[in-house]
């Protein structure tokens, strides 16, 4: 689902533009076509929001069979830019270099399921979250022997040895069957070689959307959530606020929920 192009900026962006109009003395660029923030910081250059993303992280950011960059994060970013009255340009960047590129000013923001960890919140400014996820215990469909994390005690869970979910499984008392990733975990569940696996709810929902007949189900979820948002450098807080304004509108008009349903079959936006 792609939203029609909007050319009117959000109220937040408009307010920021009015606050900066005519103030070339404060260092704002006279030739900028984007709305401007307070002080000497433009929100973006030349009316284009440059967004870093991997392009290899399905279903969030990847290339379809035609080679087009698509995905949940890509479409959310496109909708945000449209709501702000901006063009959009994606800068496909490997994850290991993505924050260095942001720090160097090679792009304005990142849309790549960046979680709001305490460490990142100290160093960067985030928008409000557009994705919220939990950890999920996945079991064979119809299995009622596991309905909580406590029920994993004495059970066998398929987990990658480098995953945080392995630690949670061990803390819950599960015996670990080492796997390379999610696909192998599902395979072992299907053959009955393991009792459960723990993974991110987004991974599970994406798999169920792609494989609606898969004989698996979510038995329990963590109370703790992981929240993902757009991220900018601290001195560009005005841009994060403008993105917030766009996300507010997209949340209210149902666009975020529609995109979430399209990719995950559920609303994972709050």
Is 90 within 8 Å of 74 (Cβ atoms)?
yes
The pLDDT of 12-30, averaged and rounded, is 35
Q: For 97, phi and psi rounded to 5 degrees? A: -110, 0
**3-state class of 50 per DSSP?**
strand
- Please state which of the ranges 9-23, 82-96, 225-239 shows the lowest mean pLDDT: 9-23
Q: pLDDT digit string (tens) for 118-141?
A: 999 999 999 999 999 999 999 999
Give the N- to C-terminal CA distance of the chain in Å, as an integer. Answer: 19
The pLDDT of 99-123, averaged and rounded, is 96
pLDDT for the residue numbered 163: 83
The pLDDT of 69-93, averaged and rounded, is 98
The pLDDT of 159-177, averaged and rounded, is 93
Which two three-digit tokens encode residue 135? Answer: 């950890």
What's the CA gap between 208 and 190, in Å, rounded?
Answer: 14
Which tops the pLDDT comparison, 124 or 27? 124
Q: Which domains does the chain have, with CATH numbers?
A: 11-132+228-264 (3.40.190.10), 135-221 (3.40.190.10)
pLDDT for the residue numbered 43: 85
Q: pLDDT digit string (tens) for 30-58?
A: 333 334 333 334 689 899 999 999 999 99
Mean pLDDT value across the chain: 87
pLDDT for the residue numbered 41: 42
pLDDT for the residue numbered 15: 37
Q: For 47, phi and psi rounded to 5 degrees? A: 70, 20
The pLDDT of 150-165, averaged and rounded, is 94
What's the CA gap between 47 and 66, in Å, rounded?
Answer: 28
pLDDT for the residue numbered 162: 80
Q: pLDDT digit string (tens) for 195-248?
A: 999 999 999 999 999 999 999 999 999 999 999 999 999 999 999 999 999 999
The pLDDT of 241-270, averaged and rounded, is 96
Which tops the pLDDT comparison, 203 or 3? 203
Which two three-digit tokens encode residue 29? Answer: 């660029």
């Amino acid at each position: 689902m792609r939203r029609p192009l909007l050319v009117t900026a959000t109220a937040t962006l408009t307010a920021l533009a009015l606050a900066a109009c005519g103030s070339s003395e404060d260092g704002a660029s006279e030739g900028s076509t984007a709305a401007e923030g307070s002080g000497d910081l433009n929100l973006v250059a030349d009316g284009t929001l440059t967004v870093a993303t991997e392009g290899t992280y399905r279903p969030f950011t990847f290339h379809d069979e035609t080679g087009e960059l698509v995905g949940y994060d890509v479409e959310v970013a496109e909708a945000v830019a449209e709501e702000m009255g901006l063009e959009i340009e994606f800068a496909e960047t490997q994850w290991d270099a993505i924050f260095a590129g942001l720090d160097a000013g090679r792009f304005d923001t990142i849309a790549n399921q960046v979680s709001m960890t305490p460490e990142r919140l100290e160093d960067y400014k985030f928008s409000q979250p557009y994705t919220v996820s939990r950890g999920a215990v996945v079991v064979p469909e119809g299995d009622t022997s596991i309905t909580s994390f406590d029920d994993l005690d004495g059970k066998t869970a398929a987990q990658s040895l480098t995953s945080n979910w392995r630690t949670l499984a061990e803390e819950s008392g599960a015996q670990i069957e080492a796997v390379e990733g999610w696909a192998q975990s599902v395979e072992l569940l299907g053959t009955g070689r393991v009792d459960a696996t723990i993974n991110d709810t987004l991974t599970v929902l994406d798999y169920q959307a792609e494989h609606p007949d898969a004989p698996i189900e979510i038995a329990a979820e963590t109370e703790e959530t992981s929240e993902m948002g757009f991220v900018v450098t601290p001195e560009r807080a005005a841009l994060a606020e403008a993105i917030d304004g766009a996300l507010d509108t997209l949340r209210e008009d149902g666009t975020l929920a529609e995109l979430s349903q399209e990719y995950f079959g559920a609303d994972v936006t709050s």
